[in-house]
Amino acid sequence: MLRTLATAGRQLATRSRVHALRHMATGPPKSAMSFPCIDRLETRQRDLLAGPEPTYDKVVTGYSTYTHHAPFVCDHMGILNGFNIAYESWGTLNVDKSNAILVHTGLSGSSHAHSHERNANPGWWEKFIGPGRALDTDKFFVVCTNVLGGCYGSTGPSSIDPQTGERFATTFPLLTVNDIVRAQFHLLDHLGIQKLHASVGASMGGMQSLCAAALHPERVGRLVSISACARSHPYSIALRFAQRQALMSDPNFNRGFYYDSVQPHVGMKLARAVATVTYRSGPEWELRFGRRRRAPELPPALCPDFLIETYLDHQSERFCLQYDANSLLYVSKAMDMFDISRSVTDRLARQRESVVLDGSGSAAAPVCLNEREQLDAGEASSVETDEEILDDLVSGVRNVLQPALVLGVQSDILFPVKQQREIADILRKAGNERVTYYELDAMYGHDTFLIDVVNVGAAIKGHLENEHLIK
């Protein structure tokens, strides 16, 4: 009996010591970590619920509009019963209309590349365009458009479908870079410009520039491609896929039908943060931010803490309500599908030409997309080896024989210099003897074409004004 009581006493004492140790280890109850970044997102969501919704045509003003009244059949067989293209211009078109330069934009670019009387705000290429600059408006008539599928004045998913009176949303047809370029050439027809002095573009604009020269070699005098590609590669496709997934995962995305409700603000912000990482470079951020924190005297936080995090948070927040989410989806997908190969260009043309329009501009007969896609996959599988892929690319630019400038940036991770060399190589293999290739050792990554006025600007100016390039 005494032994039992002693054992019970020892067990009680042990439990008491364990309880005391646990109390010492845990201390008083802890408060939950604060999340000011989430608080701000929730506040923004409440503000969006109260309205008004973003109006993209107020982001950029002062542009002119070309209206194409005829039906426009897209490469993937969608149909637009007409479209608008927003454009701006600088300089004076000469008498024979031979001094025009078409500037192609990147993914989210507007037609406002440079300031003018109708819009005095600085443009996205402000320091590259103007008297005496890279695109010298004392010599050239410079035109820039907002791409088909965009939201800054050109017809896109946020536009009103004249057949329904509602916004297109995701009923808008899928587009290709080829579609975007063909729409631009309708604008040139309207302006009476039969041949461009040059087609100039960077990033997706470089894709358009190359595509313009390939589709209309007789109408493009010179070609400038900066930080672009001859075909989208898996790495850049994967990055844009991640952006689209982040956007479409936003509960407010609503399969693209969000215009009468809350915008997918959080998804757009995440997508833009991913994109911004791809646009700049590690070396630049080492110099600008290093490992410095916003408030080093405070404990670490899960919300933006390092300066690089606050930068990404600010950039993505600033963008997310200035560009339409559906336009981001459509135009980025067009970038993914870009391939200048002859087999791809011919296949897209066959698809487009297979659509027979009735009197109203609609397709006269339904088309079995799944069946056609299976045929395309079978065709694509026949081109597999590196040699065959290269031959197909070379064949795609066989008629691109005009003077060509290709620029690459060593710190660009989105469109690496390997892809710029590929453009220069296929042009040369196709017989173009007037290809100039420069590789810049700049630290700004993909966005170098927006920043490095001295080196990028000098290369462009030299190419555009060198009279010895013309045979």
Give catalytic residues, as residue numbers: 203, 412, 446
CA 467, distance to chain mean position in Å, is 33
DSSP summary character for residue 111 = S
> Is 156 within 8 Å of 145 (Cβ atoms)?
no
Collapsed DSSP state (helix, strand, coil) of residue 285: helix
Instruction: Give the Cα separation of 260 and 158 in Å (integer).
Output: 11
Distance CA 294, CA 307 (A): 5
If we measure between CA atoms, which residue out of 146, 129, 127, 125 comes closest to residue 59?
A: 146
Cα angle: 259, vertex 174, 61; to 5 degrees? 50
Q: Are 268 and 328 in contact (CB under 8 A)?
A: yes
Nearest to 467 by CA among 96, 210, 130, 197: 197
Helix (H, G, I), strand (E, B) or coil at 363: strand
DSSP state of 345: H
Nearest C-alpha neighbor of 427 from the set 461, 393, 459, 460: 393
234, HSE (Cβ side, Cα atoms, 13 Å): 0
Query: Cα separation of 129 and 127, whole Å?
Result: 6
Integer Rg of the chain from CA: 27
The number of beta carbons lying within 10 Å of the beta carbon of residue 79 is 14
Q: Report the distance separating Cα 164 and Cα 155, nearest Å.
A: 15
- Provide the residue type at 149 as one letter: G
Q: How far apart are CA 227 and CA 450, in angstroms?
A: 11
The vertex-232 CA angle with 231 and 236, nearest 5°, equals 160
Compute CA distances 159 → 104, 134, 333, whole Å: 21, 34, 19
Cα separation, 220 vs 210, whole angstroms: 10
Beta-sheet pairing, 135-136 with 83-90: unpaired
Strands 64-68 and 83-90: antiparallel
